[in-house]
Amino acid sequence: MNALQTATAVPAAQATRVPLMGILRGLLLSEAILALGLAIFLSLLAGGLREFGDEAGRAAETTVRFAAGGAFLFAVFAAIAARGARRRRSWAWTMAAVLQLLLAIGTGIAVMTADWHAVYLLGFALAAVTMLVLSAASVRRTLGQA
């Protein structure tokens, strides 16, 4: 009797386990969760600014809602990049690197426009650590950037 093999073989490139890929996915997912929390916080803040009623309050509300939308989009794209890294897609490396650049720029804008707070260091630290993980040879090789 001939028996067909029903299980598909895992390609050799995906069979090897890279520990830094799990760390990268964890960092990207944590950035997505934090960005989603920031978007919710900014939306609530914008609702409070609406109650001022004058022209300055409405202008501030629009600005804060725009920032909340940007944070939400960042969260969506960070989750997409984490999914791409899990499936070892080559575009995930580029997307994750661009997101780290946007995170650092966004944190820098927050530092310049708002009062200083120590939580801003978290934005810079997350971007720096994620870029260090992205720069590792094993991650670059796994995501096809070698």
Q: What is the residue whose two structure tokens read 């200083």?
A: 116
Nearest of 87, 83, 100, 68 to residue 29 by alpha carbon: 83
DSSP string, the chain: ------SPPPPHHHHS--HHHHHHHHHHHHHHHHHHHHHHHHHHHHHHHHTT-SHHHHHHHHHHHHHHHHHHHHHHHHHHHHHHHHTT-THHHHHHHHHHHHHHHHHHHHHHHS---TTHHHHHHHHHHHHHHHHSHHHHHHTT--
Per-residue pLDDT tens digits for 59-75: 888 889 999 999 999 99
Average pLDDT over residues 20-45: 95
Task: Give the percent of the chain with pLDDT over 70.
Answer: 89
Predicted TM-score (pTM) of this structure: 0.83
- The per-residue pLDDT for 117 is 87
User: How many CB atoms neighbour CB 103 within 10 A?
Assistant: 22
Average pLDDT over residues 95-113: 94
**pLDDT at residue 77 tops 90:** yes
